[in-house]
Chain A
Amino acid sequence: MDKRAFNIRHLPGATALAITCFVILYIPMVILIVNSLNAGKSISVWEGISLRWYGTALQNEGFLNAATTSLILASTAALVATVTATMAALATTRTKSFRGEGTINLVLNQPLMVPEIVLAIALLIILAQVKQITGYNGLGWLIIAHSAFCIPFAYMPIRARLQGMDLTLETAAADLYASRFYTFRKVTLPLLAPAVLAGFMLAFVVSLDDVVMSEFLKSPGQDTLPTYLLGQLKRNLTSEIYAISSLLLLISVLIVAGSWALTRKKT
Protein backbone atom coordinates (compact mmCIF):
# COMPACT_ATOMS: atom_id res chain seq x y z
CA MET A 1 0.00 0.00 0.00
CA ASP A 2 1.65 3.21 -1.04
CA LYS A 3 1.37 6.08 1.36
CA ARG A 4 0.65 8.99 -0.87
CA ALA A 5 -0.16 12.34 0.66
CA PHE A 6 -3.44 11.63 2.34
CA ASN A 7 -5.75 14.10 3.86
CA ILE A 8 -8.77 12.55 5.53
CA ARG A 9 -10.20 16.01 5.65
CA HIS A 10 -10.69 15.89 1.93
CA LEU A 11 -13.89 14.00 1.32
CA PRO A 12 -14.62 13.75 -2.40
CA GLY A 13 -17.89 15.40 -3.28
CA ALA A 14 -18.32 17.04 0.08
CA THR A 15 -17.20 20.42 -1.12
CA ALA A 16 -19.44 20.27 -4.17
CA LEU A 17 -22.47 19.32 -2.12
CA ALA A 18 -21.65 21.93 0.49
CA ILE A 19 -21.40 24.73 -2.04
CA THR A 20 -24.63 23.51 -3.63
CA CYS A 21 -26.23 23.61 -0.23
CA PHE A 22 -25.15 27.18 0.41
CA VAL A 23 -26.33 28.23 -3.01
CA ILE A 24 -29.68 26.56 -2.45
CA LEU A 25 -30.03 28.27 0.90
CA TYR A 26 -29.25 31.76 -0.31
CA ILE A 27 -30.74 32.03 -3.78
CA PRO A 28 -34.37 32.16 -2.62
CA MET A 29 -33.54 34.87 -0.11
CA VAL A 30 -31.62 36.85 -2.68
CA ILE A 31 -34.48 36.54 -5.17
CA LEU A 32 -36.83 37.74 -2.47
CA ILE A 33 -34.79 40.87 -1.96
CA VAL A 34 -34.45 41.40 -5.69
CA ASN A 35 -38.20 41.08 -6.13
CA SER A 36 -38.78 43.62 -3.42
CA LEU A 37 -36.87 46.13 -5.50
CA ASN A 38 -39.12 45.67 -8.52
CA ALA A 39 -40.26 49.06 -9.70
CA GLY A 40 -43.21 47.61 -11.53
CA LYS A 41 -46.68 47.08 -10.15
CA SER A 42 -46.99 43.45 -11.08
CA ILE A 43 -44.81 40.90 -9.39
CA SER A 44 -44.32 39.01 -12.61
CA VAL A 45 -42.97 41.81 -14.70
CA TRP A 46 -39.64 43.34 -13.92
CA GLU A 47 -39.51 47.07 -14.45
CA GLY A 48 -36.28 48.24 -12.95
CA ILE A 49 -35.01 48.93 -9.47
CA SER A 50 -36.99 51.01 -7.05
CA LEU A 51 -37.57 51.31 -3.36
CA ARG A 52 -41.21 52.17 -3.79
CA TRP A 53 -42.53 49.08 -2.12
CA TYR A 54 -40.52 49.83 0.98
CA GLY A 55 -42.08 53.25 0.91
CA THR A 56 -45.55 51.78 0.56
CA ALA A 57 -44.91 49.40 3.40
CA LEU A 58 -43.63 52.11 5.68
CA GLN A 59 -46.74 54.18 5.05
CA ASN A 60 -49.06 51.25 5.55
CA GLU A 61 -50.77 51.67 8.89
CA GLY A 62 -51.40 47.98 9.28
CA PHE A 63 -47.74 47.24 8.78
CA LEU A 64 -46.58 49.96 11.14
CA ASN A 65 -48.94 48.84 13.88
CA ALA A 66 -47.81 45.25 13.46
CA ALA A 67 -44.17 46.31 13.50
CA THR A 68 -44.63 48.34 16.67
CA THR A 69 -46.48 45.49 18.33
CA SER A 70 -43.74 43.05 17.35
CA LEU A 71 -41.00 45.29 18.68
CA ILE A 72 -42.72 45.93 21.99
CA LEU A 73 -43.60 42.26 22.32
CA ALA A 74 -40.13 41.01 21.46
CA SER A 75 -38.31 43.50 23.71
CA THR A 76 -40.51 42.87 26.71
CA ALA A 77 -40.63 39.12 26.32
CA ALA A 78 -36.88 38.96 25.79
CA LEU A 79 -36.30 41.13 28.85
CA VAL A 80 -38.51 39.00 31.08
CA ALA A 81 -37.02 35.82 29.67
CA THR A 82 -33.43 37.02 30.07
CA VAL A 83 -33.81 38.29 33.63
CA THR A 84 -35.59 35.18 34.87
CA ALA A 85 -33.26 32.89 32.93
CA THR A 86 -30.20 34.64 34.39
CA MET A 87 -31.53 34.17 37.89
CA ALA A 88 -32.30 30.53 37.18
CA ALA A 89 -28.86 29.95 35.64
CA LEU A 90 -27.20 31.48 38.71
CA ALA A 91 -29.27 29.13 40.80
CA THR A 92 -28.31 25.94 38.99
CA THR A 93 -24.61 26.47 38.36
CA ARG A 94 -21.43 26.92 40.34
CA THR A 95 -22.31 24.27 42.83
CA LYS A 96 -21.11 20.74 43.35
CA SER A 97 -24.50 19.18 43.69
CA PHE A 98 -27.83 20.75 44.20
CA ARG A 99 -30.79 18.49 44.48
CA GLY A 100 -33.24 20.55 42.47
CA GLU A 101 -30.88 21.07 39.55
CA GLY A 102 -32.18 18.28 37.35
CA THR A 103 -35.80 19.22 37.87
CA ILE A 104 -35.23 22.90 37.22
CA ASN A 105 -33.28 22.13 34.06
CA LEU A 106 -36.02 19.85 32.84
CA VAL A 107 -38.74 22.40 33.51
CA LEU A 108 -36.82 25.21 31.88
CA ASN A 109 -36.17 23.19 28.73
CA GLN A 110 -39.70 21.83 28.53
CA PRO A 111 -40.98 24.28 25.88
CA LEU A 112 -38.38 22.93 23.50
CA MET A 113 -39.61 19.37 23.89
CA VAL A 114 -43.18 19.95 22.80
CA PRO A 115 -44.15 20.94 19.25
CA GLU A 116 -44.99 24.61 19.08
CA ILE A 117 -48.45 24.08 17.73
CA VAL A 118 -49.38 21.94 20.70
CA LEU A 119 -48.26 24.70 23.08
CA ALA A 120 -50.14 27.23 20.99
CA ILE A 121 -53.47 25.47 21.12
CA ALA A 122 -52.96 24.61 24.77
CA LEU A 123 -52.64 28.30 25.58
CA LEU A 124 -55.46 29.08 23.17
CA ILE A 125 -57.77 26.87 25.16
CA ILE A 126 -56.85 28.47 28.46
CA LEU A 127 -56.78 32.03 27.22
CA ALA A 128 -60.19 31.61 25.55
CA GLN A 129 -61.71 31.18 29.00
CA VAL A 130 -59.44 33.63 30.79
CA LYS A 131 -59.99 36.38 28.26
CA GLN A 132 -63.72 35.96 28.68
CA ILE A 133 -63.51 36.07 32.45
CA THR A 134 -61.11 38.98 32.81
CA GLY A 135 -62.13 40.85 29.71
CA TYR A 136 -58.48 41.78 29.17
CA ASN A 137 -57.54 41.41 25.54
CA GLY A 138 -54.29 43.30 25.49
CA LEU A 139 -50.75 42.45 24.59
CA GLY A 140 -50.00 41.04 28.03
CA TRP A 141 -51.04 37.51 27.14
CA LEU A 142 -48.75 37.38 24.15
CA ILE A 143 -45.93 38.85 26.21
CA ILE A 144 -46.15 36.17 28.85
CA ALA A 145 -46.64 33.37 26.33
CA HIS A 146 -43.58 34.54 24.41
CA SER A 147 -41.59 34.90 27.61
CA ALA A 148 -42.35 31.30 28.44
CA PHE A 149 -40.95 29.82 25.27
CA CYS A 150 -38.11 32.35 25.08
CA ILE A 151 -36.74 31.39 28.49
CA PRO A 152 -34.94 28.23 27.27
CA PHE A 153 -33.24 30.25 24.53
CA ALA A 154 -31.88 32.81 26.97
CA TYR A 155 -31.09 30.13 29.55
CA MET A 156 -28.74 28.11 27.37
CA PRO A 157 -25.96 30.61 26.59
CA ILE A 158 -26.05 32.10 30.09
CA ARG A 159 -25.86 28.74 31.76
CA ALA A 160 -23.06 27.65 29.44
CA ARG A 161 -21.04 30.73 30.31
CA LEU A 162 -21.59 30.27 34.03
CA GLN A 163 -20.50 26.66 33.88
CA GLY A 164 -17.33 27.64 32.08
CA MET A 165 -16.52 30.40 34.51
CA ASP A 166 -13.64 29.98 36.88
CA LEU A 167 -15.15 29.20 40.28
CA THR A 168 -12.08 30.34 42.18
CA LEU A 169 -12.79 33.91 41.12
CA GLU A 170 -15.79 34.12 43.40
CA THR A 171 -13.89 32.36 46.16
CA ALA A 172 -11.09 34.86 45.75
CA ALA A 173 -13.55 37.74 45.95
CA ALA A 174 -14.98 36.37 49.19
CA ASP A 175 -11.48 35.92 50.52
CA LEU A 176 -10.94 39.59 49.80
CA TYR A 177 -13.82 40.68 52.04
CA ALA A 178 -16.45 41.09 49.31
CA SER A 179 -20.05 40.55 50.36
CA ARG A 180 -22.14 38.26 48.20
CA PHE A 181 -23.74 41.21 46.47
CA TYR A 182 -20.45 43.00 45.91
CA THR A 183 -19.01 39.84 44.36
CA PHE A 184 -21.99 39.56 42.05
CA ARG A 185 -21.81 43.20 41.06
CA LYS A 186 -18.06 43.46 40.51
CA VAL A 187 -17.01 39.97 39.45
CA THR A 188 -19.83 37.70 38.27
CA LEU A 189 -21.98 40.17 36.38
CA PRO A 190 -19.24 41.82 34.28
CA LEU A 191 -17.98 38.40 33.24
CA LEU A 192 -21.50 37.24 32.52
CA ALA A 193 -22.57 40.34 30.61
CA PRO A 194 -21.72 39.13 27.07
CA ALA A 195 -23.64 35.91 27.59
CA VAL A 196 -26.63 37.74 29.05
CA LEU A 197 -26.66 40.05 26.07
CA ALA A 198 -26.36 37.11 23.68
CA GLY A 199 -29.25 35.40 25.48
CA PHE A 200 -31.34 38.55 25.17
CA MET A 201 -30.69 38.81 21.47
CA LEU A 202 -31.54 35.17 20.93
CA ALA A 203 -34.78 35.54 22.86
CA PHE A 204 -35.57 38.71 20.92
CA VAL A 205 -35.11 37.03 17.56
CA VAL A 206 -37.10 33.98 18.60
CA SER A 207 -39.98 36.16 19.73
CA LEU A 208 -39.82 38.34 16.63
CA ASP A 209 -39.86 35.29 14.38
CA ASP A 210 -42.72 33.54 16.07
CA VAL A 211 -45.68 32.82 13.85
CA VAL A 212 -47.65 29.97 15.35
CA MET A 213 -48.02 31.16 18.94
CA SER A 214 -48.85 34.71 17.90
CA GLU A 215 -51.32 33.60 15.26
CA PHE A 216 -53.27 31.45 17.67
CA LEU A 217 -53.19 33.70 20.69
CA LYS A 218 -53.69 37.14 19.28
CA SER A 219 -56.89 38.97 19.98
CA PRO A 220 -58.92 40.42 17.11
CA GLY A 221 -57.20 43.55 15.86
CA GLN A 222 -53.83 42.49 17.19
CA ASP A 223 -51.09 41.67 14.78
CA THR A 224 -47.42 40.98 14.98
CA LEU A 225 -45.25 41.38 11.92
CA PRO A 226 -45.31 37.67 11.06
CA THR A 227 -49.08 37.38 11.54
CA TYR A 228 -49.59 40.52 9.48
CA LEU A 229 -47.47 38.97 6.77
CA LEU A 230 -49.42 35.74 6.96
CA GLY A 231 -52.66 37.68 6.64
CA GLN A 232 -51.39 39.55 3.61
CA LEU A 233 -50.32 36.29 2.02
CA LYS A 234 -53.80 34.92 2.32
CA ARG A 235 -55.12 37.77 0.22
CA ASN A 236 -52.61 38.15 -2.58
CA LEU A 237 -48.98 38.16 -3.38
CA THR A 238 -47.78 41.70 -3.80
CA SER A 239 -44.37 43.20 -3.97
CA GLU A 240 -45.13 44.91 -0.68
CA ILE A 241 -44.97 41.48 0.91
CA TYR A 242 -41.49 41.07 -0.51
CA ALA A 243 -40.49 44.43 0.92
CA ILE A 244 -41.76 43.52 4.37
CA SER A 245 -40.11 40.11 4.18
CA SER A 246 -36.83 41.69 3.14
CA LEU A 247 -37.04 44.09 6.06
CA LEU A 248 -37.53 41.20 8.45
CA LEU A 249 -34.63 39.44 6.79
CA LEU A 250 -32.43 42.46 7.28
CA ILE A 251 -33.33 42.75 10.95
CA SER A 252 -32.49 39.08 11.53
CA VAL A 253 -29.15 39.42 9.76
CA LEU A 254 -28.26 42.49 11.83
CA ILE A 255 -29.13 40.80 15.10
CA VAL A 256 -27.25 37.63 14.23
CA ALA A 257 -24.23 39.66 13.17
CA GLY A 258 -24.40 41.63 16.41
CA SER A 259 -24.68 38.51 18.54
CA TRP A 260 -21.81 36.98 16.58
CA ALA A 261 -19.59 40.01 17.16
CA LEU A 262 -20.35 39.83 20.88
CA THR A 263 -19.39 36.21 21.24
CA ARG A 264 -16.29 36.52 19.08
CA LYS A 265 -14.94 39.32 21.22
CA LYS A 266 -14.84 37.35 24.41
CA THR A 267 -11.31 36.67 25.59
Chain B
Amino acid sequence: MDIAETRALRADARRRWTLAMPAVTIITLFSILPLLVVVVYSFLTPGDYGNVKWIWSTEGWFQVLFQRDIFDDTVTLSDAHLTILGRSVTLSLITTLITLFLGVPTAWFIATRPARQRAFWLFLITIPFWTNLLVRTIAVQEMIRSEGLINRLLLWLGAIDAPIQMMYTNFAILVGMAYVFLPLMVLPVYAAIERFDFRLAEAGYDLYASRLYCLRKVVLPQVKAGIIAGSILVFVPSLGAYVTPRIMGGGKSMMLGNLIEMQFGQGRNWPLGAALSLALTALVLVALVWYTRLTTGERRHG
Protein backbone atom coordinates (compact mmCIF):
# COMPACT_ATOMS: atom_id res chain seq x y z
CA MET B 1 0.00 0.00 0.00
CA ASP B 2 1.51 3.29 -0.97
CA ILE B 3 1.63 6.45 1.10
CA ALA B 4 -1.22 8.22 -0.65
CA GLU B 5 -3.48 5.25 -0.04
CA THR B 6 -2.66 5.01 3.66
CA ARG B 7 -3.14 8.73 4.08
CA ALA B 8 -6.53 8.54 2.38
CA LEU B 9 -7.62 5.69 4.62
CA ARG B 10 -6.58 7.52 7.76
CA ALA B 11 -8.40 10.66 6.68
CA ASP B 12 -11.46 8.54 6.04
CA ALA B 13 -11.31 6.99 9.51
CA ARG B 14 -10.89 10.42 11.07
CA ARG B 15 -13.90 11.72 9.17
CA ARG B 16 -16.03 8.82 10.37
CA TRP B 17 -15.07 9.27 14.01
CA THR B 18 -15.94 12.96 13.78
CA LEU B 19 -19.37 12.12 12.38
CA ALA B 20 -20.05 9.68 15.16
CA MET B 21 -18.69 11.93 17.91
CA PRO B 22 -21.88 13.82 18.91
CA ALA B 23 -23.89 10.64 19.43
CA VAL B 24 -21.04 8.90 21.20
CA THR B 25 -20.42 11.92 23.46
CA ILE B 26 -24.05 12.26 24.49
CA ILE B 27 -24.30 8.61 25.40
CA THR B 28 -20.96 8.48 27.15
CA LEU B 29 -21.78 11.49 29.29
CA PHE B 30 -25.40 10.69 29.99
CA SER B 31 -25.50 6.96 30.01
CA ILE B 32 -22.11 5.39 30.58
CA LEU B 33 -20.44 7.86 32.94
CA PRO B 34 -23.45 7.95 35.27
CA LEU B 35 -23.12 4.22 35.76
CA LEU B 36 -19.57 4.69 36.97
CA VAL B 37 -20.86 7.30 39.39
CA VAL B 38 -23.32 4.72 40.69
CA VAL B 39 -20.45 2.38 41.43
CA VAL B 40 -18.72 5.11 43.38
CA TYR B 41 -21.86 6.01 45.29
CA SER B 42 -22.48 2.43 46.31
CA PHE B 43 -19.39 2.69 48.48
CA LEU B 44 -20.36 5.88 50.32
CA THR B 45 -22.39 6.65 53.41
CA PRO B 46 -25.98 7.82 53.39
CA GLY B 47 -26.45 11.50 54.15
CA ASP B 48 -28.89 12.73 56.76
CA TYR B 49 -31.42 14.15 54.35
CA GLY B 50 -30.83 11.99 51.34
CA ASN B 51 -27.77 12.21 49.09
CA VAL B 52 -24.47 11.03 50.52
CA LYS B 53 -21.57 11.84 52.79
CA TRP B 54 -18.23 11.30 51.18
CA ILE B 55 -17.07 8.69 53.61
CA TRP B 56 -16.08 5.23 52.44
CA SER B 57 -18.42 2.49 53.60
CA THR B 58 -19.44 -0.96 52.53
CA GLU B 59 -22.73 -0.75 54.38
CA GLY B 60 -24.60 -0.16 51.18
CA TRP B 61 -23.51 -3.44 49.70
CA PHE B 62 -23.89 -5.19 52.99
CA GLN B 63 -27.47 -4.11 53.29
CA VAL B 64 -28.37 -5.61 49.96
CA LEU B 65 -28.63 -9.04 51.50
CA PHE B 66 -28.12 -8.61 55.22
CA GLN B 67 -29.38 -6.59 58.09
CA ARG B 68 -27.94 -5.74 61.40
CA ASP B 69 -30.09 -5.95 64.49
CA ILE B 70 -30.17 -2.48 66.01
CA PHE B 71 -29.94 -3.80 69.54
CA ASP B 72 -27.43 -6.57 69.64
CA ASP B 73 -25.67 -6.06 66.32
CA THR B 74 -26.28 -9.60 65.12
CA VAL B 75 -26.19 -10.10 61.41
CA THR B 76 -29.07 -11.86 59.76
CA LEU B 77 -30.31 -12.18 56.23
CA SER B 78 -32.60 -9.38 55.29
CA ASP B 79 -35.93 -11.13 54.84
CA ALA B 80 -37.54 -8.15 53.21
CA HIS B 81 -34.82 -7.79 50.62
CA LEU B 82 -34.58 -11.48 49.93
CA THR B 83 -38.32 -11.70 49.46
CA ILE B 84 -38.20 -8.87 47.00
CA LEU B 85 -35.27 -10.36 45.14
CA GLY B 86 -36.94 -13.72 45.05
CA ARG B 87 -40.19 -12.21 43.93
CA SER B 88 -38.47 -10.25 41.15
CA VAL B 89 -36.70 -13.28 39.72
CA THR B 90 -39.66 -15.62 40.13
CA LEU B 91 -42.24 -13.26 38.70
CA SER B 92 -39.94 -12.41 35.82
CA LEU B 93 -39.49 -16.09 35.02
CA ILE B 94 -43.21 -16.81 35.23
CA THR B 95 -43.96 -13.75 33.10
CA THR B 96 -41.54 -15.07 30.51
CA LEU B 97 -43.26 -18.45 30.55
CA ILE B 98 -46.70 -16.93 30.19
CA THR B 99 -45.63 -14.73 27.33
CA LEU B 100 -43.98 -17.76 25.72
CA PHE B 101 -47.16 -19.76 26.02
CA LEU B 102 -49.30 -17.06 24.46
CA GLY B 103 -46.73 -15.33 22.30
CA VAL B 104 -45.23 -18.18 20.31
CA PRO B 105 -48.55 -19.44 18.90
CA THR B 106 -49.45 -15.83 18.11
CA ALA B 107 -46.19 -15.33 16.26
CA TRP B 108 -46.78 -18.60 14.45
CA PHE B 109 -50.27 -17.49 13.53
CA ILE B 110 -49.10 -14.19 12.08
CA ALA B 111 -46.21 -15.75 10.20
CA THR B 112 -48.44 -18.33 8.56
CA ARG B 113 -51.04 -15.90 7.30
CA PRO B 114 -51.08 -15.22 3.56
CA ALA B 115 -48.77 -12.36 2.71
CA ARG B 116 -51.45 -9.75 2.19
CA GLN B 117 -53.10 -10.40 5.56
CA ARG B 118 -49.84 -10.48 7.41
CA ALA B 119 -49.30 -6.71 7.39
CA PHE B 120 -52.65 -6.25 9.10
CA TRP B 121 -51.90 -8.67 11.93
CA LEU B 122 -48.43 -7.24 12.37
CA PHE B 123 -49.94 -3.79 12.66
CA LEU B 124 -52.31 -5.10 15.32
CA ILE B 125 -49.47 -6.46 17.40
CA THR B 126 -47.32 -3.38 16.93
CA ILE B 127 -49.85 -0.97 18.39
CA PRO B 128 -49.69 -2.37 21.95
CA PHE B 129 -45.94 -2.53 21.55
CA TRP B 130 -45.66 1.21 21.12
CA THR B 131 -48.49 2.28 23.39
CA ASN B 132 -47.49 3.93 26.62
CA LEU B 133 -46.55 1.45 29.32
CA LEU B 134 -48.42 3.46 31.92
CA VAL B 135 -51.58 3.56 29.85
CA ARG B 136 -51.53 -0.18 29.32
CA THR B 137 -50.92 -0.79 33.01
CA ILE B 138 -53.87 1.43 33.84
CA ALA B 139 -55.90 -0.54 31.33
CA VAL B 140 -55.05 -3.91 32.85
CA GLN B 141 -55.60 -2.54 36.33
CA GLU B 142 -59.07 -1.60 35.19
CA MET B 143 -59.63 -5.28 34.42
CA ILE B 144 -58.73 -6.79 37.73
CA ARG B 145 -59.50 -4.22 40.36
CA SER B 146 -62.42 -4.79 42.72
CA GLU B 147 -64.84 -2.85 40.54
CA GLY B 148 -63.15 -3.87 37.36
CA LEU B 149 -64.49 -5.84 34.45
CA ILE B 150 -63.58 -9.31 35.62
CA ASN B 151 -65.08 -8.94 39.06
CA ARG B 152 -68.22 -7.36 37.65
CA LEU B 153 -68.54 -10.15 35.14
CA LEU B 154 -68.14 -12.84 37.79
CA LEU B 155 -70.63 -11.13 40.10
CA TRP B 156 -73.12 -10.77 37.26
CA LEU B 157 -72.72 -14.44 36.41
CA GLY B 158 -73.30 -15.27 40.03
CA ALA B 159 -70.03 -17.17 40.28
CA ILE B 160 -68.96 -15.15 43.28
CA ASP B 161 -70.77 -13.24 46.04
CA ALA B 162 -68.22 -10.55 46.71
CA PRO B 163 -65.47 -9.11 44.51
CA ILE B 164 -62.15 -10.99 44.66
CA GLN B 165 -59.26 -8.89 45.81
CA MET B 166 -56.78 -9.34 42.99
CA MET B 167 -54.97 -6.01 43.09
CA TYR B 168 -51.86 -5.40 45.16
CA THR B 169 -50.83 -9.04 45.06
CA ASN B 170 -48.12 -10.99 43.32
CA PHE B 171 -50.81 -12.21 40.99
CA ALA B 172 -51.66 -8.65 40.00
CA ILE B 173 -48.04 -7.87 39.20
CA LEU B 174 -47.84 -11.04 37.16
CA VAL B 175 -50.93 -10.20 35.18
CA GLY B 176 -49.70 -6.66 34.65
CA MET B 177 -46.23 -7.64 33.44
CA ALA B 178 -47.44 -10.47 31.24
CA TYR B 179 -49.92 -8.09 29.60
CA VAL B 180 -47.42 -5.31 29.13
CA PHE B 181 -44.54 -7.44 27.83
CA LEU B 182 -46.49 -9.86 25.64
CA PRO B 183 -45.84 -7.95 22.37
CA LEU B 184 -42.11 -8.04 23.13
CA MET B 185 -42.19 -11.83 22.86
CA VAL B 186 -44.23 -11.99 19.71
CA LEU B 187 -42.08 -9.80 17.47
CA PRO B 188 -38.71 -11.60 17.59
CA VAL B 189 -40.38 -15.01 17.42
CA TYR B 190 -42.39 -13.82 14.44
CA ALA B 191 -39.21 -12.61 12.74
CA ALA B 192 -37.59 -16.03 13.22
CA ILE B 193 -40.59 -17.99 11.97
CA GLU B 194 -41.05 -15.69 9.01
CA ARG B 195 -37.45 -16.30 7.99
CA PHE B 196 -37.97 -20.04 8.14
CA ASP B 197 -38.25 -21.77 4.81
CA PHE B 198 -41.34 -23.94 5.12
CA ARG B 199 -40.21 -26.09 2.26
CA LEU B 200 -37.70 -27.60 4.66
CA ALA B 201 -40.59 -28.84 6.77
CA GLU B 202 -42.29 -30.22 3.71
CA ALA B 203 -39.08 -32.04 2.86
CA GLY B 204 -39.15 -33.50 6.34
CA TYR B 205 -42.67 -34.71 5.90
CA ASP B 206 -41.78 -36.14 2.54
CA LEU B 207 -39.28 -38.25 4.44
CA TYR B 208 -42.05 -39.80 6.51
CA ALA B 209 -41.73 -37.65 9.63
CA SER B 210 -44.86 -37.12 11.67
CA ARG B 211 -46.00 -33.56 12.26
CA LEU B 212 -44.63 -33.53 15.79
CA TYR B 213 -41.29 -34.95 14.75
CA CYS B 214 -41.09 -32.41 11.95
CA LEU B 215 -41.77 -29.59 14.36
CA ARG B 216 -39.23 -30.81 16.83
CA LYS B 217 -36.41 -31.62 14.48
CA VAL B 218 -36.80 -29.19 11.62
CA VAL B 219 -38.78 -26.13 12.64
CA LEU B 220 -37.83 -25.71 16.27
CA PRO B 221 -34.03 -25.48 15.91
CA GLN B 222 -34.41 -22.68 13.37
CA VAL B 223 -36.95 -20.82 15.43
CA LYS B 224 -35.08 -21.33 18.67
CA ALA B 225 -33.02 -18.16 18.24
CA GLY B 226 -36.17 -16.09 17.98
CA ILE B 227 -37.66 -17.71 21.06
CA ILE B 228 -34.53 -17.04 23.06
CA ALA B 229 -34.42 -13.44 21.89
CA GLY B 230 -38.06 -12.95 22.85
CA SER B 231 -37.45 -14.50 26.26
CA ILE B 232 -34.64 -12.12 26.96
CA LEU B 233 -36.68 -9.16 25.73
CA VAL B 234 -39.32 -10.09 28.30
CA PHE B 235 -37.16 -11.30 31.17
CA VAL B 236 -34.78 -8.36 31.35
CA PRO B 237 -37.34 -5.53 31.51
CA SER B 238 -39.41 -7.64 33.92
CA LEU B 239 -36.50 -7.85 36.32
CA GLY B 240 -36.10 -4.09 36.30
CA ALA B 241 -39.79 -3.24 36.10
CA TYR B 242 -40.89 -0.24 38.11
CA VAL B 243 -44.11 1.25 36.86
CA THR B 244 -46.13 -1.94 36.57
CA PRO B 245 -45.26 -3.38 40.01
CA ARG B 246 -45.83 0.03 41.52
CA ILE B 247 -49.35 0.33 40.18
CA MET B 248 -50.34 -3.32 40.39
CA GLY B 249 -48.57 -4.19 43.61
CA GLY B 250 -49.00 -0.97 45.52
CA GLY B 251 -46.64 -0.62 48.40
CA LYS B 252 -47.27 -4.15 49.58
CA SER B 253 -45.78 -6.24 46.83
CA MET B 254 -42.53 -4.66 45.77
CA MET B 255 -40.08 -5.66 43.13
CA LEU B 256 -36.44 -4.75 42.81
CA GLY B 257 -37.22 -1.58 40.87
CA ASN B 258 -39.54 -0.32 43.58
CA LEU B 259 -37.06 -1.19 46.29
CA ILE B 260 -34.40 0.81 44.51
CA GLU B 261 -36.71 3.77 44.10
CA MET B 262 -37.56 3.67 47.77
CA GLN B 263 -33.95 4.23 48.72
CA PHE B 264 -33.99 7.52 46.86
CA GLY B 265 -37.33 8.54 48.27
CA GLN B 266 -38.40 7.92 51.80
CA GLY B 267 -35.69 5.37 52.49
CA ARG B 268 -32.94 8.00 52.16
CA ASN B 269 -30.30 5.40 51.62
CA TRP B 270 -28.61 6.29 48.35
CA PRO B 271 -25.64 3.93 48.70
CA LEU B 272 -28.01 1.01 49.21
CA GLY B 273 -30.00 2.14 46.21
CA ALA B 274 -26.82 2.33 44.17
CA ALA B 275 -25.71 -1.12 45.31
CA LEU B 276 -29.12 -2.60 44.53
CA SER B 277 -29.04 -1.03 41.07
CA LEU B 278 -25.68 -2.60 40.39
CA ALA B 279 -26.98 -5.93 41.65
CA LEU B 280 -29.87 -5.62 39.22
CA THR B 281 -27.50 -4.72 36.39
CA ALA B 282 -25.39 -7.74 37.27
CA LEU B 283 -28.43 -10.03 37.08
CA VAL B 284 -29.32 -8.53 33.72
CA LEU B 285 -25.78 -8.99 32.43
CA VAL B 286 -25.84 -12.61 33.52
CA ALA B 287 -29.03 -13.13 31.56
CA LEU B 288 -27.54 -11.37 28.50
CA VAL B 289 -24.32 -13.38 28.63
CA TRP B 290 -26.33 -16.58 28.93
CA TYR B 291 -28.35 -15.47 25.93
CA THR B 292 -25.26 -14.71 23.87
CA ARG B 293 -23.79 -18.09 24.73
CA LEU B 294 -27.00 -19.86 23.78
CA THR B 295 -27.28 -18.16 20.42
CA THR B 296 -23.60 -18.41 19.44
CA GLY B 297 -23.74 -22.04 20.46
CA GLU B 298 -26.58 -22.46 18.03
CA ARG B 299 -24.63 -20.77 15.28
CA ARG B 300 -21.73 -23.09 15.79
CA HIS B 301 -23.91 -26.15 15.44
CA GLY B 302 -26.05 -24.75 12.65
Contacts and interface: CB of A to CB of B under 8 A. Distances in A.
Contacts of B260: 117-118, 121
Interface string B271-299: 00110011011001100100000000000
Given A35-B142, A148-B30, A260 B123 contact: yes
Interface string B24-35: 101111111111
B109 A252 contact: no
Interface stretch (B56-64, B79-87, B239-247): B239-247
A17 B106 contact: yes
Contact of B37 (A90, A126, A147): A126
Q: What class of interface size applies to chain B in its complex with A?
A: 35 or more
A211 B241 CA distance: 11
Nearest to B103: A21
A88 interface: yes
Interface centre among B51, B135, B277 (most CB of A within 10 A): B135
A115 B240 contact: yes
A8 B219 contact: yes
B174 interface: no
A221 B26 CA distance: 26
A8 B19 contact: no
Contact-size category for A: 35 or more
Nearest to B24: A107
B65 interface: no
A115 B179 contact: no
A90 B261 CA distance: 39
Contacts of A83: 22
A216 B53 CA distance: 21
A249 B142 contact: no
A18 B31 contact: no
Interface stretch (A22-30, A57-65, A160-168, A189-197): A22-30
B185 to A, nearest CB: 10
B264 A121 contact: yes
A20 B23 CA distance: 42
Nearest to A42: B147
A25 B182 contact: yes
A39 interface: no
Most buried by B among A108, A118, A256: A118
B236 interface: yes
B22 A84 contact: yes
B124 interface: yes
B205 interface: yes
A133 interface: no
A91 B288 CA distance: 27
B208 interface: yes
Contact of B27 (A3, A26, A111): A111
Nearest to B208: A1
A71 interface: no
A151 B23 contact: yes
A80 B26 CA distance: 10
Interface string B1-21: 000000000001101111110
A249 B285 CA distance: 33
Given A118-B240, A229-B134, A98 B182 contact: no
Nearest to A122: B34
A151 B264 contact: no
A20 B102 contact: yes
Contact of B23 (A88, A119, A264): A88
A92 interface: yes
Nearest to A245: B135
A257 B13 CA distance: 39
A253 B131 contact: yes
Given A21-B102, A24-B179, A249-B131, A119 B138 contact: no
Given A8-B198, A25-B128, A121-B38, A32 B109 contact: no
Interface in A175-192: none
A49 to B, nearest CB: 18
Interface string A23-63: 01111110110010000000110000000000000000000
Given A18-B105, A25-B179, A212-B243, A31 B16 contact: no
A246 to B, nearest CB: 8
A241 interface: yes
Contact of A115 (B22, B125, B280): B280
Interface of A: 1, 3, 6, 8-11, 13-15, 17-22, 24-29, 31-32, 35, 43-44, 80, 83-85, 87-88, 90-92, 95, 98-100, 104, 107-108, 110-111, 113-119, 121-126, 128, 144-145, 147-149, 151, 155, 205, 208-209, 211-212, 216, 226, 229-230, 233, 241-242, 245, 248-249, 252-253, 255-257, 260, 264
- Give me the 6 closest cross-chain CB pairs, A-B, nearest first: A115-B240, A18-B109, A122-B34, A28-B139, A17-B105, A91-B19
15 contacts: A8-B202, A24-B182, A25-B179, A29-B139, A31-B139, A92-B20, A114-B35, A117-B242, A118-B280, A121-B277, A122-B35, A124-B264, A147-B30, A151-B26, A229-B138
